[in-house]
């Protein structure tokens, strides 16, 4: 009972999607330029270009709100698919239909890139690209930042000879239709992909799932997510420490419900990289001016530099 109470407290305090405030719409939010310095040169961040990642965030924000099932999300899908194809990535669309959500029956689409390798074992990287269903909510950080990072990551990986099969997944329907995180009213896209992996008998092939979500704020702090797989957290966090980012990837823990749990529940090693401790979370203030290109670059740098170790784990 105590443990239960403690976990409830942790969840209320730090849970990915428990609401803290009912924010009333505050009028149309125009995309604003960041006031931060430009991203570091790609040569200093493993080839990952923070400026290119930032440009993607800018384009996604310019689309406006794009919750699951909306007009906007079709434009977000078109943007992501066109960018991936421009990098030479082959794109797979996983279309599915979710009946009986609080918003009725909703058509959703995961966007997948599956990079072949002589090694059939899979490393899976993911981000959700839908924004929360809220008037004027553009989700620059929540949805945009991680999608920008994953797109720039795709540009590098689709041109790289990879020592493991690599899948990149852009998830639809991570956000609740309800304002608060409620039961299974969330993580629709990641649960769909996890289910399809299980149905195909591919769970044993997936050696690691790395989720990015809310990776755009200035002075980011990524805490070790409590339910994430220990060795995978250690691998990512030690890579970050070697690169000099131990003040970003910190030792503190947080308990966060997110898309990685769809894979954890299938016994796939999974980790969530997220800074949820931002004052604008799930408010209309989650706008482009909150996005620091340097944070995108740091996040991408760690992903790129962690790849050789991840590939060893996937042998």
CB atoms within 10 A of CB 109: 24
Q: Which residue has the tokens 């002589």?
A: 118
191 or 301, CB closer to Zn ion?
A: 191
Task: Name the residue nearer to Zn ion (CB basis): 142 or 292.
Answer: 142
Tell me how far apart the alpha carbons of residues 291 and 278 are, in angstroms, rounded to a whole number.
Answer: 11
Stretches 4-12, 137-145, 230-238, 288-296: which one binds Zn ion (CB under 5 A)? Answer: 137-145
10 Å Cβ neighbour count for 251? Answer: 9
**Residues from 153 through 212 that contact Zn ion (CB under 5 A):** none
Q: Which residue has the tokens 């072949």?
A: 116
Tell me, by CB under 5 A, how many residues bind Zn ion: 1
Find the part of the chain contacting Zn ion (CB under 5 A) among 139-147, 179-187, 293-301, 303-311: 139-147
Select the span of 32-40, 138-146, 239-247, 302-310 touching Zn ion (CB under 5 A): 138-146
Does 142 sit near Zn ion (CB under 5 A)? Answer: yes
Smallest gap from residue 139 Cβ to Zn ion (A)? 7
Q: Taking CB under 5 A as the criterion, which residues in 212-231 touch Zn ion?
A: none
Read off φ and ψ for residue 46, nearest 5 degrees: 65, 20
Burial degree of 190 (CB within 10 A; 0-12, 13-18, 19+): buried
Q: Which of residues 75-114 bind Zn ion (CB under 5 A)?
A: none
The minimum distance between CB 146 and Zn ion, in angstroms, equals 11
Q: In the complex, what is the shortest distance from the CB of residue 175 to Zn ion, in angstroms, rounded to a whole number?
A: 5
State in angstroms the smallest separation of the CB of 239 from Zn ion.
26
Minimum CB separation of residue 119 from Zn ion in Å reads: 34
254, with CB counted inside 10 A (0-12, 13-18, 19+), is: buried
Identify which of residues 32 and 180 has a Cβ nearer to Zn ion in the complex: 180
Q: Which is nearer to Zn ion, 142 or 259 (CB)?
A: 142
Nearer to Zn ion among residue 142 and residue 272 (C-beta): 142
Do the beta carbons of residue 138 and residue 64 sit within 8 Å?
yes
CB of 258 to Zn ion, least distance (A): 9
CB 138 within 8 A of CB 179: no
Rounded Cα gap, residues 17 and 314, in angstroms: 31
Quick one: which segment of 95-103, 142-150, 176-184, 220-228 binds Zn ion (CB under 5 A)?
142-150
Residue with tokens 């999974």: 270
Q: Looking up tokens 């709100």, which residue turns up? A: 65
Element (H, E) at 165: strand 165-171
Shorter beta-carbon distance to Zn ion: residue 142 or 185: 142
Binding site for Zn ion (CB under 5 A): 142
């Amino acid at each position: 009972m105590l443990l239960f109470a403690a976990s409830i407290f942790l969840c209320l305090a730090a849970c990915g999607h428990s609401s803290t405030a009912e924010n009333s719409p505050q009028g149309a939010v125009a995309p604003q330029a960041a006031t931060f310095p430009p991203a570091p040169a790609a040569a200093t961040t493993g080839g990952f270009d923070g400026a290119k990642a930032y440009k993607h965030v800018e384009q996604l924000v310019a689309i406006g709100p794009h919750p699951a099932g909306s007009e906007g999300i079709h434009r977000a899908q078109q943007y992501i698919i066109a960018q991936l194809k421009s990098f030479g990535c082959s794109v797979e669309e996983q279309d599915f239909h979710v009946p009986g959500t609080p918003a009725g029956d909703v058509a959703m689409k995961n966007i997948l890139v599956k990079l072949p390798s002589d090694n059939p074992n899979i490393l899976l990287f993911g981000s959700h690209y839908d924004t929360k269903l809220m008037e004027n909510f553009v989700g620059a950080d929540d949805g945009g930042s991680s999608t920008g990072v994953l797109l720039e990551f795709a540009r590098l990986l689709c041109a790289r000879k990879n020592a493991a099969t690599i899948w990149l997944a852009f998830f639809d329907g991570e956000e609740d239709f309800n304002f608060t995180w409620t039961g299974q009213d969330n993580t629709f896209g990641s649960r769909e992909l996890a289910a399809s992996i299980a149905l195909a008998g591919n769970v044993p092939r997936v050696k690691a799932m790395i989720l990015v979500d809310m990776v755009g704020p200035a002075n980011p702090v990524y805490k070790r997510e409590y339910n994430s797989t220990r060795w995978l957290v250690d691998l990512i966090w030690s890579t970050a420490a070697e690169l000099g980012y131990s003040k970003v990837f910190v030792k503190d823990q947080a308990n966060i419900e997110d898309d990685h749990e769809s894979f954890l529940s299938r016994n796939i090693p999974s980790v969530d990289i997220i800074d949820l401790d931002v004052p604008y979370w799930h408010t209309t203030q989650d706008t482009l001016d909150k996005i620091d290109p340097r944070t995108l670059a740091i996040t991408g740098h760690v992903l790129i530099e962690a790849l050789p170790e991840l590939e060893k784990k996937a042998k």
